[in-house]
Chain A
Amino acid sequence: MRYVTPGTRLCFASEYEAGPGTYERDEYIYSSVVGIVQEFLPTVSSNTVEEKKQSKIITVSREKHQSSIPDVDSIITGKVIRMTTREAVVSIMVVGNIPCKDDYQGIIRSQDVRATEKDKVKIIESYRLGDIVKAEVISLGDARSYYLSTAKNEYGVIYAQSVAGAMMVPISWQKMQCTKTKAVELRKCAKPKDLFSKNQ
């Protein structure tokens, strides 16, 4: 086990590839966090000659986990906290699988709710306050919020409560039913990918 601090020179840049927690500068790779040095073989998808030439990836895994930050293309989970006719404001609580220490703010604009019939989207028929939503970050957005999109099958509401306060189950990609009163409410439901692939 090799413990390092930021600025420790790890190796030559020609021998390894800089992974997370490291950076390359002037032919060397340096550590950028406090942690343990680890080496990985790159995940080779094909066995072509070029791929085999790839050098090992060197990383430094942190001792203390930093709060995660949303980035473009990352998948987030959050709660709807505010709604207008044009957009729903989401408080981002989880990025990927890592919870954020402080919530970040994101918005789902009405044109980003679904992929088809974008002009007919009504925010009120897609989300309600308190819904837990899975979405993708499409842009770093404006000064205040990230721009999110649910325009894919696997994104949308993953947990919602009905007017009666009971949990709801999705019955189609646009509808959810209350387990208590059997009332149907409109939502843009998510169809989680991994949920179905496991059963097969």
Chain B
Amino acid sequence: MATDRRRIQGPEASVAPIILKSPNKIQLLDENLCRHNGRNLEDIRSISNGSAFIELNKTKIVCGVYGPRQTKIPAFSGKGNLNCEIKFAPFSCPKRRPPYRDSQEKELSQLIYEALTPSIRLDLLPKSTIDIYITILENDGTASCLAAAITCASVAVADAGIEMLDLVPACSASYINGHIFMDSDLIEEKRESGSLVLSYMPSLKEITHILQSGEVELNLTSQAIEQCTDSCSKIYSIMIDSLLLPIQNIK
């Protein structure tokens, strides 16, 4: 007998579906005012292991750190793995940015990875991955955004309780007509002939990452490096304050 192959051949006999009994009503609060999910009344759901927000006038960046958790990379490594992802919000720039990952975001992610890796004690975290997700809410100068993102991510990593050698503040500078413009904004950045981004560990007096682009004279560069390390030390004290303030208030 020819049957229609495109039709689903069901069984001839039918069985009534099993109706699961709904579970007993869950008690929302126990005698210790503890909720059924283990939280207290005032607790919100924990979002990430560590997080930070930075606002430099118009530049606004949020950062979340997840992990350390088991790595999904199919190769054995005795050291931990750092995964950085930076994302521009579609509304962050004067021109709308498409929501998919473009080449600039990939480049910035790699730069942040390079700047942060020397500061984190990855040798203590075998086979683990730390995920850092950075979102730029408002962009006021790409170089300054990169510097702010490194600063922000470093605070978030410290907030997550991950062991690190030092916090990493970062600072940017632009070269315009023979002057050094520290932390330049979007308007200044359009007229620059070159720029410098410097990440620095003030306590250890070590530079973790340096990025220079464009054309510039040597003495101007060394002056810019000096100015950037000075600014980094200033940012460092603010980073320390922001980390210590919440724990000092509890006690």
Residues of A within 8 A of B (CB): 1, 3, 5-9, 21, 23, 25, 30, 32-35, 62-67, 69, 71, 101-105, 140, 142-144, 146
Contact = CB atoms under 8 A, between A and B. Distances in A.
26 contacts: A5-B243, A6-B119, A6-B163, A6-B165, A6-B166, A7-B204, A8-B203, A30-B165, A32-B121, A32-B165, A33-B161, A33-B163, A34-B247, A63-B161, A66-B160, A67-B67, A67-B69, A69-B125, A71-B126, A101-B69, A102-B69, A104-B70, A140-B78, A142-B76, A143-B76, A143-B127
A35 B160 CA distance: 12
A102 B70 contact: yes
A89 to B, nearest CB: 13
Given A5-B239, A140-B127, A67 B166 contact: no
B180 to A, nearest CB: 27
A69 B68 contact: yes
A104 B75 CA distance: 16
A66 B161 contact: yes
A122 B50 CA distance: 44
* The 9 residue pairs across chains A and B that have the minimum distance between CB atoms: A7-B166, A7-B203, A102-B69, A66-B161, A64-B161, A32-B163, A143-B76, A6-B164, A62-B161
Tell me which of A7, A102, A144 has the highest count of chain B C-beta atoms within 10 A of its own C-beta. Answer: A7
A33 B165 CA distance: 9
Interface in B77-131: 78, 119, 121, 125-128
Interface residues of B, number: 38
B173 interface: no
Given A3-B244, A23-B165, A30 B203 contact: yes
A23 B163 CA distance: 10
B128 A33 contact: no
Interface in B50-82: 50, 67-70, 73-76, 78
Contacts of B202: 7
Contacts, number: 98
Contacts of B166: 6-7, 30
A5 B68 contact: no
Given A6-B166, A7-B201, A64 B74 contact: no
A34 B165 contact: no
Given A7-B167, A143-B75, A64 B69 contact: no
Contacts of A34: 158-159, 161, 243-244, 247
Nearest to A60: B163
Contact of A33 (B67, B70, B127, B158): B158
A66 B75 contact: no
Given A6-B167, A7-B167, A30-B203, A69 B161 contact: no
B73 A143 contact: yes
A22 to B, nearest CB: 9
A52 B121 CA distance: 32
A144 B251 CA distance: 42
A64 B240 CA distance: 16
